[in-house]
């Protein structure tokens, strides 16, 4: 019996199965710095302990997406090592702040299984919970991936497709943000005057800047997240694969687009939920990421007069500025769209 993990195949999953993922990870100031240096995030709450303390955090909270990627990374060896594609995310909520020194672990439950008609692959749906060292949930999300079958002749399971919310309800946002001392929130330090009230549904924002990604950068980031997906790291194997290239972790694009969104959403300091996310095309090293966002909804958060929520769809592109707000319906440039991310952010009111 081999001692190496070759990853799970479609047959290895069953409905209600629970997986405790390996390698808990303590996140520290080292992670804050490296995450910042890889993506260039500038939200003041994550950048400055003094700013975070002034508005009511006991210490500066870790960037929500650093938390997401850390939890996600743990699931890869069990869930997606044999994945062909990461198909989607839903019902992702950030439940509790994570601080320097916290240790994160992850647990997943299989909530859906559906063999594809080709008999070679199937879709696996898991609900993953990120936990801190006290066993408290800090993050929860559903993702679904297409996974290879070990044996094409093995029988198909009864199909179960979970009923997933189109979006997280505003009622369920905000638990990762302590009550804020609004008077201490200095928009000058935060980088822009625009608070929740200043945004309108339908508004579109070009985040202007573009950032080129290098092989060393996306591999370093994925390793920081302990994400072991082979396609990101092994040029020897990928040279013989679909693209001939290493594929950049989709989460890298999410984090880069989020960092770019600072220019236009500087006070949207907290990702409160991810409603859905689609990696519509792969990104390779040398590509330049741009992003633009549309405000698709605006909601009060029950019980909170300090923060309000905006629902945002951020579109990330490669080698295509966001100036004209390009979409996948956009003819020639449809293939330049690499990410559509639908999420809620919290801003001070």
Q: Which of positions 281-340 make contact with a copy of itself (CB under 8 A)?
A: 286, 288, 290, 319, 321
Considering beta carbons, is residue 161 or 334 the nearer one to a copy of itself?
334
**By CB neighbour count within 10 A (0-12 exposed, 13-18 middle, 19+ buried), where does 33 fall?**
exposed
Q: Cα–Cα distance between 277 and 143 in angstroms, integer?
A: 9
Among the listed ranges 86-94, 113-121, 210-218, 338-346, the one in contact with a copy of itself (CB under 8 A) is 210-218
Member of 169, 201, 234, 305 binding a copy of itself (CB under 8 A): 234
For residue 315, CA distances in Å to 91, 179, 256, 280, 318 come to: 19, 31, 11, 10, 10
Contacts (CB under 8 A) with a copy of itself, residues 172-191: 188-191
Task: In angstroms, give the least distance from the CB of 48 to a copy of itself.
Answer: 4
Specify the 3-state DSSP secondary structure of 129.
Answer: strand
Considering beta carbons, is residue 141 or 199 the nearer one to a copy of itself?
199
Member of 246, 258, 279, 311 binding a copy of itself (CB under 8 A): 246
**Neighbouring C-beta atoms of residue 214, cutoff 10 Å:** 11
- Site membership for a copy of itself, residue 4 (CB under 8 A): yes
Q: Identify the CA nearest to 283 among candidates 315, 331, 245, 340.
A: 245
**Residue 63 contacts residue 71 (beta carbons within 8 Å):** no
Applying CB under 8 A, what is the total number of residues that bind a copy of itself?
Answer: 80
Q: What is the largest CA-CA distance in the chain?
A: 65
Binding mask of the shown chain, residues 105 to 134, with x at each position contacting a copy of itself by CB under 8 A:
x---------------------------x-
Considering beta carbons, is residue 111 or 259 the nearer one to a copy of itself?
259
Task: In angstroms, give the least distance from the CB of 166 to a copy of itself.
Answer: 27
Helices (H), the chain: 29-39, 44-47, 49-55, 64-75, 187-190, 215-224, 235-238, 250-260
Residue with tokens 């195949």: 9
Member of 119, 223, 244, 334 binding a copy of itself (CB under 8 A): 223
- Site membership for a copy of itself, residue 44 (CB under 8 A): yes
Contacts (CB under 8 A) with a copy of itself, residues 56-95: 60, 77
- Site membership for a copy of itself, residue 5 (CB under 8 A): yes
Among the listed ranges 41-49, 61-69, 158-166, 270-278, the one in contact with a copy of itself (CB under 8 A) is 41-49
Q: Cα–Cα distance between 149 and 141 in angstroms, integer?
A: 24
Instruction: Tell me the angle at which helices 250-260 and 215-224 cross, rounded to the nearest 10 degrees.
Output: 100
Member of 23, 154, 169, 305 binding a copy of itself (CB under 8 A): 23
- Site membership for a copy of itself, residue 38 (CB under 8 A): yes
**By CB neighbour count within 10 A (0-12 exposed, 13-18 middle, 19+ buried), where does 112 fall?**
buried
For residue 27, CA distances in Å to 34, 39, 110 come to: 11, 17, 27
Member of 12, 15, 17, 49 binding a copy of itself (CB under 8 A): 49
Member of 12, 15, 17, 48 binding a copy of itself (CB under 8 A): 48
Specify the 3-state DSSP secondary structure of 208.
Answer: coil
Member of 120, 150, 230, 294 binding a copy of itself (CB under 8 A): 230
Considering beta carbons, is residue 166 or 236 the nearer one to a copy of itself?
236
Member of 63, 217, 306, 342 binding a copy of itself (CB under 8 A): 217
Residue with tokens 């923060």: 307
Among the listed ranges 118-126, 165-173, 261-269, 275-283, the one in contact with a copy of itself (CB under 8 A) is 261-269
In the chain, % helix, strand, coil (3-state, to 5) comes to 25, 30, 45
Say how many Å lie between the first and final Cα of the chain, rounded.
Answer: 59
Member of 8, 13, 47, 282 binding a copy of itself (CB under 8 A): 47
Considering beta carbons, is residue 170 or 322 the nearer one to a copy of itself?
322
């Amino acid at each position: 019996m081999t001692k190496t993990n070759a990853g799970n195949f479609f047959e290895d999953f069953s409905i209600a199965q629970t997986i405790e993922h390996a390698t808990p990870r303590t996140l520290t100031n080292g992670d804050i710095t490296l995450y910042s240096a890889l993506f260039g995030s500038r939200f003041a709450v994550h950048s400055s302990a003094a700013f975070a303390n002034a508005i009511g955090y006991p210490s500066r909270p870790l960037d929500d997406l650093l938390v997401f990627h850390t939890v996600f990374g743990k699931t890869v060896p069990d869930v997606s090592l044999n994945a062909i594609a990461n198909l989607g995310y839903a019902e992702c909520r950030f439940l509790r702040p994570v601080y320097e020194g916290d240790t994160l672990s992850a647990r997943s439950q299989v909530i859906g299984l559906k063999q594809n008609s080709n008999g070679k692959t199937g879709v696996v749906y898991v609900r993953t919970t990120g936990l801190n060292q006290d066993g408290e949930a800090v993050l929860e999300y559903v993702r679904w991936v297409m996974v290879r079958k070990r044996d094409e002749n093995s029988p198909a399971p009864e199909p179960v497709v979970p009923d997933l919310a189109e979006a997280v309800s505003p009622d369920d946002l905000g638990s990762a943000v302590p009550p804020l001392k609004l008077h201490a929130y200095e928009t000058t330090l935060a980088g822009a005057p625009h608070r929740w009230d200043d945004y309108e549904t339908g508004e579109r924002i070009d985040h202007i800047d573009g950032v080129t990604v290098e092989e060393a950068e996306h591999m370093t980031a994925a390793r920081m997240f302990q994400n072991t997906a082979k396609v990101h790291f092994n040029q020897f194997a990928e040279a013989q694969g679909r693209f001939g290239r290493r594929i950049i972790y989709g989460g890298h694009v999410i984090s880069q687009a989020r960092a770019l969104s600072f220019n236009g959403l500087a006070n949207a300091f907290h990702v409160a939920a991810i409603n859905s996310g689609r990696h519509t095309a792969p990104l390779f090293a040398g590509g330049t990421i741009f992003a633009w966002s549309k405000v698709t909804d605006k909601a009060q958060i029950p019980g909170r007069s300090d923060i309000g929520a905006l629902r945002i769809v951020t579109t990330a592109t490669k080698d295509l500025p966001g100036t004209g707000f390009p979409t996948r319906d956009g003819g020639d440039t449809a293939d330049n769209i690499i990410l559509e991310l639908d999420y809620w952010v919290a801003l001070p009111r």
